């Protein structure tokens, strides 16, 4: 059974048809790439999947239940984690606090514990701190746990975003241009990291990326969007040679 199933998704902003008739099915454990020229509607698809936008048509199913129209925080709690194209960290907080916040609902305690600082409060706080630290260790950020998030170098901010998304224990991870602004060296490290994360946490990943070398090496299946419509779908090899994709990226051949 598919982990994520999207049926005929459409959304217009005024006269602009951002996404039209988008279909997608992801099986557990798959790593799917979503590519397309600027303004093709990739991030809009992400925002619909995570509940930031409500689609005008179509339905979204996750893990057997329909999530169309649910609020973002509820979709997150069902197991969809995401990162943002333009990094959205909690800038003034420490690296550790950033990750702790994402842990919120995996192990919450009640108001009684909060106000009276019961033993459970301490136990939960310790659990949260340890869990958050372990996520940071995975992404090699543990040494920077006490630093303010905005003071981290760019590449580490990207990694922190992934750590934060992982802290919510997602089944499906949506990465929005994780390699944007990284140098080739960092991109290669990211590639290894994503592959390793996927193995380690048996994650299903949907990825938006402009760096073709990364997408081609990483993804088993690629979807190409243009003007809100899927124009091609297939293995990296098929996509590379698909005339419609080449046309979308490079324009029509002059005859």
Partner 1 sequence: METETTTGLEKPEAVEKWRTHLLPAGLAILVLLNLLIFMEHFGFDIVSRYYKGILILAFINIILAVSLNLINGITGLFSIGHAGFMAVGAYVSALLTLNMGRWELVSSQVQAVLQFPLVLLAGGLAAALAGLVIGIPTLRLRGEYLAIATLGFGEIIRVVALNLNITRGARGIPSIPNYTNFWWAQLFAVLTVVIIWNIVHSNHGRAMVAIREDEIAAEAMGINTTYYKVLSFTIGAFFAGVAGGLLAHHLTFISPKGFDVLKSIEILLMVVLGGLGSITGSVIAAIVLTALPEVLRFLQAYRMVIYAGTLVVLMIFRPQGFFGRAEVNLAFFKSLFRSRVEEEMKSRSEERGGNGGSA
What is the full DSSP assignment across 132-179? HHHHHHHTT-GGGTTSBGGGS-HHHHHHHHHHHHHHT--SEEEEESTT
Residues in 67-106 that interact with partner 1 by CB under 8 A: 71-73, 76-77, 82, 84, 88-93, 97, 100-105
Asked if 185 is part of the footprint of partner 1 (rule: CB under 8 A), the reply reads: no
> Beta strands of the chain (E only): which ranges?
4-13, 16-26, 31-35, 57-62, 65-66, 80-82, 172-176, 204-208, 221-226, 229-234
**Binding of partner 1 by 129 (CB under 8 A):** yes
For partner 1, give the closer residue by CB, 92 or 253.
92
Please choose, out of 21-29, 58-66, 120-128, 240-248, the segment that lies near partner 1 by the rule CB under 8 A.
Answer: 120-128
- In degrees to the nearest 10, what's the CA dihedral of 232, 234, 238, 240? 60
Which CB atom, from 12 or from 151, has the smaller least distance to partner 1? 151
Q: Which is nearer to partner 1, 52 or 227 (CB)?
A: 52
* Nearest alpha carbon to residue 163 among 155, 31, 78: 155
Interface with partner 1, residue 192, by CB under 8 A: no
Q: Are 150 and 94 in contact (CB under 8 A)?
A: no
Q: Does residue 109 interact with partner 1 by CB under 8 A?
A: yes
Any contact of residue 252 with partner 1 (CB under 8 A)?
no
Q: Does 184 engage in binding with partner 1 (CB under 8 A)? A: no
Which one, 129 or 246, has the nearer CB to partner 1? 129
Contacting range for partner 1; rule: CB under 8 A; set: 34-42, 54-62, 137-145, 217-225: 137-145
User: Which C-beta is closer to partner 1: that of 27 or that of 88?
Assistant: 88
For residue 135, state whether it binds partner 1 (rule: CB under 8 A). no
Binding residue (CB under 8 A) for partner 1 from 12, 126, 199, 241: 126
Give the CA-trace dihedral at 184, 187, 189, 193, to 10 degrees. Answer: -170
Answer whether 26's CB lies under 8 Å from 207's CB: no
Other Cβ atoms within 10 Å of 64 Cβ, number = 9
CA 185, CA 74: separation in Å to the nearest integer? 37
Binding footprint of partner 1 on the chain (CB under 8 A): 50, 52, 71-73, 76-77, 82, 84, 88-93, 97, 100-105, 108-109, 111, 113-117, 121-122, 124-126, 128-129, 133, 140, 142-148, 150-151, 153, 156, 164, 168
């Amino acid at each position: 059974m598919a982990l994520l199933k999207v049926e005929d998704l459409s959304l217009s902003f005024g006269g602009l048809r951002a996404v039209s008739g988008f279909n997608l099915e992801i099986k557990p454990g798959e790593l799917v790439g979503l590519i397309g020229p600027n303004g093709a509607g990739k991030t809009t698809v992400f925002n619909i999947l995570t509940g930031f936008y409500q689609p005008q048509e179509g339905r979204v199913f996750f893990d057997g239940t329909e999530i169309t129209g649910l609020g973002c925080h509820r979709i997150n709690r069902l197991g969809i984690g995401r990162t943002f194209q333009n990094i959205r960290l909690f800038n003034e907080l420490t690296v550790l606090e950033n990750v702790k916040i994402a842990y919120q609902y995996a192990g919450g305690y009640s108001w009684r514990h909060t106000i009276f600082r019961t033993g459970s409060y301490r136990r939960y706080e310790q659990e949260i701190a340890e869990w958050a630290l372990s996520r940071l260790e995975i992404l090699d950020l543990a040494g920077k746990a006490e630093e303010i998030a905005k003071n981290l170098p760019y590449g580490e901010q990207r990694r922190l975003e992934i750590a934060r998304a992982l802290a919510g224990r997602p089944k499906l991870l949506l990465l929005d241009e994780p390699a944007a602004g990284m140098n080739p060296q960092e991109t290669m490290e990211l590639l290894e990291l994503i592959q390793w994360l996927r193995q380690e946490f048996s994650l299903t990943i949907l990825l938006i990326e402009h760096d073709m070398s990364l997408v081609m090496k990483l993804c088993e299946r690629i979807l190409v969007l243009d003007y809100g419509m899927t124009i091609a779908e297939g293995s990296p090899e098929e996509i590379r040679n698909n005339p419609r994709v080449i046309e979308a990226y490079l324009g029509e051949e002059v005859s």
